[in-house]
A and B are shown apart, each in its own frame.
Chain A
Amino acid sequence: MRRATLILVPYLWLLALFLVPFVIVLKISLSDTALAIPPYTPTLDFGAGWQGIRDFFSQLDLENFWFLSTDDLYWKAYLSSVKIAAIATFLTLLAGYPIAYGMANAPDHWRPTLMLLVILPFWTSFLIRVYSWMGILSGEGYLNQFLMWTGLISQPLTILNTPIAVYIGIVYTYLPFMILPIYAALERMDASLLEAAEDLGCSRFKAFWLITIPLSRNGIIAGCFLVFIPTIGEFVIPSLLGGSRTLMIGKVLWEEFFNNRDWPVASAVAVILLLILIVPIILFQRNEQKQREAEG
């Protein structure tokens, strides 16, 4: 009895507020736009009994998905989301690995402090961290002021409202997600492995490639997924830093919903976004599973 309550309360909560809403999105993505409230048809009419349910299903179609595939705005938005996420993930890895490496090889009494410094930004508002770059990257921003002061440039650079600003924003906000799993992998590594490699004739650099990199592979993979997956659906960063020229699917969905009030199309966009995410999510889960098994 008690066990049943324990299971049922969170179970029902998640069913009602996670699964059911999701089914609704799927359903609306198959509906037609209408000038009504809610702005789509058909709506399910239980009063009409079986006939109502049959009518309901007969009116669902893939028209919205067809629409998405014909309008190249959506194609471009999906492709550019994946491209931006992939490039940004790679850049985050380049920035994060040396930091994780430096932390893992820091003196023992330094490590808790370094760890705190990595985690601290994670607790501060995401919105504010993205916002802080607006003042730096804008035309009369701190970066341009600095570069002009040093005499490196004479005209301000246009960085804000370009993809470069989006990359900077993603690297900046997601850096802790890259650092932490890599650090965890490097920290677990037995220092005598590197000594053994050196003893067997490796130079330091060679030992890094042959031992350190392969042994931190799981951390690298985990970090890349942790950055790549949320970045694809990212909305705040492209909206604040990317300007109108940066196309990302999270932004398209938002605009489709709030500005165009086209709920069925917005839902169809969401369904496809999820389909795109399923592959990396499954790969990520398998990587985690494998790692858990390897650790016994």
Chain B
Amino acid sequence: MTQTVFEPWNDPNEKPLIQFRGVTKRFGDFTAIDNQTFDIFEREFFALLGPSGCGKTTMMRMLAGFETPTEGTILLAGQDIAPIPPNKRAVNMMFQSYALFPHLSVWDNIAFGLKRDGMARDAIGDRVAEMLKLTRLEKFARRKPHQISGGQRQRVALARSLAKAPKLLLLDEPLGALDAKLRQDTQFELMDIQEKTGTTFVIVTHDQEEAMTVASRVAVMDHGQIIQADTPARIYETPNSVYVADFIGDVTIIEGTATRDGAGYRIDFAEGQPALYAETDIALTDGQRAYLAIRPEKVSITAEKPEDKRNALRGKILDIAYLGNLSTYHVELPKGQIVRAQTANTRRLSRRSFTWEDEVWLSWTDTAAVLLER
């Protein structure tokens, strides 16, 4: 049985739904978006991820039509959308505050956009019923927004923006107002609905876990630029910069000078310390500054020096963060750098092998660490 993998961005014949072509947006002296070019494909679940003020919301508001690019063009299905006002675009938005109309019932909120299209009464009824069913809100149709819970409000906002069957749905921090437990359930619900309706979703979030969970591709942004746009796995495993590596998940960064050695580079990072080794595809000149990014879960911690690994460092346990299923050890090297190592707590706490102040060996394989230029 062959299963086609959903990777339209790797298929040269696929036509993108949205194309940013050299888009720049300035507010006075401030550049919110800096000359960006990228594509989003049909049926994608595309996440714009970054800290506040990185430009992700501006990106979304340009798609919705509330902002126009200062330079460059945005194409939707091959057509420039700059001259189309927000109320005429086949794009709908789910607002961060939900923006539910407080004077209208749940039913009327969902029907609002349909009525604007002049849809027939019966058709509106059917469509609203369908949306209520999709979001499991049938029982709350007659309630006003202030009479339902936060999670239900979130689903009304989703139903309202999906009712017009937009080509593209924009979600601005859709789960930001929900508590942690509800957020997890809702993430899966969102993915489910996206799959059922086949709509292209663009989500804006500052929560990396959320982006990793729901998205087919994640674009990590900083200062108005997309630093890296790729699948969650590739963003995590092969970040293209220290910024991305540091933003997504936990990482130890070791700075040093690179020297070519076989299939990779040798990194000298401190006097009196053994050099580290990492295989990589990138090309560096000898003596160049480089950064080694190592995920804690890829670092083993042992009492004896492992004989089979080239990367092995000795250090002292400074701190142990007990997370229940995992423990993270903060190990201090002789020159003061801290390297984090994570182990699964497969045994009872009382039988833990290491404790504070213990001298231990840290080691990882040649392919475990990622070598970065910046």
Distance, CA A210 to CA B88, complexed state (A): 17
Contact between A190 and B87, CB atoms less than 8 A apart: no
What B residues does A201 contact at CB under 8 A?
Answer: 87-88, 113, 116-117, 164
Contact between A199 and B97, CB atoms less than 8 A apart: no
Interface 0/1 of A128-154, CB less than 8 Å to B: 000000000000000000000000000
Closest to B111 in A: A200
Given A195-B66, A200-B112, A203-B87, answer yes or no on A190-B117 (Cβ-Cβ < 8 Å).
Answer: no
Does B101 belong to the interface (CB within 8 Å)?
yes
Contact between A200 and B103, CB atoms less than 8 A apart: no
Interface 0/1 of B93-130, CB less than 8 Å to A: 10111010111000000001100110000000000000
Contact between B97 and A198, CB atoms less than 8 A apart: no
Max count, chain A CB within 10 A of own CB: residue among B87, B102, B117:
B87
What B residues does A195 contact at CB under 8 A?
Answer: 64, 66, 86, 93, 95, 99
Given A197-B112, A201-B164, answer yes or no on A214-B86 (Cβ-Cβ < 8 Å).
Answer: no
Contact between B86 and A198, CB atoms less than 8 A apart: yes
Does B363 belong to the interface (CB within 8 Å)?
no
* Nearest CB on B from A269, distance (A): 42
What B residues does A214 contact at CB under 8 A?
Answer: 103
What B residues does A210 contact at CB under 8 A?
Answer: 112
What A residues does B113 contact at CB under 8 A?
Answer: 199-201
Distance, CA A203 to CA B103, complexed state (A): 19
Interface 0/1 of A263-296, CB less than 8 Å to B: 0000000000000000000000000000000100
Contact between A192 and B95, CB atoms less than 8 A apart: yes
Interface 0/1 of B153-171, CB less than 8 Å to A: 0000000110010000000
What A residues does B24 contact at CB under 8 A?
Answer: none
Does A16 belong to the interface (CB within 8 Å)?
no
What B residues does A211 contact at CB under 8 A?
Answer: 101
Does B216 belong to the interface (CB within 8 Å)?
no
* Nearest CB on B from A184, distance (A): 16
Does B92 belong to the interface (CB within 8 Å)?
yes
**Known contacts A196-B93, A199-B93, A201-B113; 17 further A-B pairs (Cβ under 8 A):** A190-B97, A190-B99, A192-B95, A192-B96, A192-B97, A193-B101, A195-B95, A196-B95, A196-B101, A196-B160, A199-B86, A199-B91, A200-B113, A200-B164, A201-B116, A215-B101, A215-B102
21 A-B pairs with CB atoms under 8 Å apart are A192-B99, A195-B95, A195-B99, A196-B93, A196-B95, A196-B99, A196-B160, A197-B112, A198-B87, A199-B86, A199-B92, A200-B92, A200-B160, A200-B164, A201-B87, A202-B87, A210-B112, A211-B101, A215-B101, A215-B103, A294-B146
